[in-house]
Chains A and B, each alone.
Chain A
Amino acid sequence: MRRWAAALGGTALVVAAWGIALVTPEDAEAERSFVVPVEIGDRGEGRNLAVTVTGIRAADAATIDGWVAEGPWLIVDLEAAAVQSELRAQLSHATLSVDGRTFRASERPPDSLFRSALAVGVPRSGSIAFELPEEVFGDDLAVLSLGLSADPRLDSLIELHLEPSSLDRVEEAELMSSGWAR
Chain B
Amino acid sequence: MIINSSDQVSRFTWLKRFPIPHNFDVMPDSRIRPGRTWPAPAGATKTKAFDIYRYDPDSGDNPRLDRFHVDLNDCGPMVLDALIWIKNKVDSTLTFRRSCREGVCGSCSMNMDGTNWLACTRFISDMATPATIYPLANMRIIKDLVPDQTHIFAQYAVIEPWLRSKTPEPEKERLQSVEERSRIDGYYECILCFCCTSGCPSHWWNGDRFLGPAVLLQAWRWLNDSRDEAKEERLDNLEDPFRLYRCHTILNCTRTCPKGLNPGKAIAEIKKMIIERES
- The answer to whether A binds B is no
Which B residues fall within an 8 A CB radius of A?
A: none
Which A residues fall within an 8 A CB radius of B?
A: none
